[in-house]
Amino acid sequence: MTFDPGPADRWRSAELDAWLVVWPDRNDDLRPCYGRGSVLRPASHSRAHRADRAHHLYCGGSPKVEKVDAGGPAQSVSEKEFFDQLAQVNPSFPDALRSFFDQCKANGCGPELRRQFSLYVDSPAGGRVNLGSVRKDGVVEVWGVSRQDGELGEPIGRRYMQKLVDFLTDARIKDDSESARNWHIRQHDRATISLDDMLRHREAWLAAIKEVVDRFRQIEHSQDITVR
């Protein structure tokens, strides 16, 4: 069924947890909306998945609601499946990425696999920050790293993205959204980054990750001292 978007408040109701809003970016990739023109903004992505698991799909210029089965959490892939498909892109990627992940873990960053590997770091502001998502098709997404910068009182995520842009070719930070959670890195004017480029600069990437982790731990330490 189609629906009239109307004011956002109209949809802030019991139905809120029953739907997940997705909207295409300029490359027509469906992606969860967090303020980029969405009508509904579920308080929790996971809660939206746990409900009726309905998706708003973009159809002919207007959103359309399509019901799907109740299901469970979002599907994940096995590590073997992920690396097997990644090897089809470049046979050297699996070993190089496993080695990179080992160094990430040593630096306090925990790669976690669902449909892709996400590089999570515990944040002193609560929850986790994803420093990048590695996909099995050989690309990386760096999206929303700055979402807690305002709460933390310094541009930690923004600095991280700038360090990556500095070593990448034809890359920039897209930060024209009012919400920092929508800021991301674009390379060759696409919302994805070549994994090959990232691995060629793995030491610089690891150093940028370590800087974020170290700064987060420093903030946590100062918070502990303040509480005492």
Residues 36 and 108 occupy one common structural domain: no
- Side by side, the strands of the sheet bearing 110-113 are 110-113, 117-122, 128-134, 139-141, 193-194
Average pLDDT, integer, range 58-78: 50
- What are the pLDDT digits (tens) for 100-114? 999 999 999 999 999
Query: What is the residue range of 202's domain?
Result: 79-227
> For the chain, what is the domain count?
2
Query: Which pTM value belongs to this model?
Result: 0.68
Q: Are residues 155 and 186 in the same domain?
A: yes
CA distance 66 to 28: 18
Of 26, 41, 66, the position where a domain reaches its end is 66
pLDDT digit string, tens, across residues 119-177: 999 999 999 999 999 999 999 999 999 999 999 999 999 999 999 999 999 999 999 99
Q: Is 2 domain-assigned?
A: no
Nearest to 160 by CA among 109, 200, 223: 109
Rounded CA-CA distance 48/13 in Å is 13
Residue 179 lies in a domain: yes
Does residue 212 belong to any structural domain of this protein?
Answer: yes
Tell me, yes or no, whether 85 and 53 share the same domain: no
Is residue 124 one of the residues assigned to a domain?
Answer: yes
Q: Residue 214, SS3?
A: helix
In a domain, 72, yes or no: no
Round the average pLDDT of the chain to a whole number and report it. Answer: 76
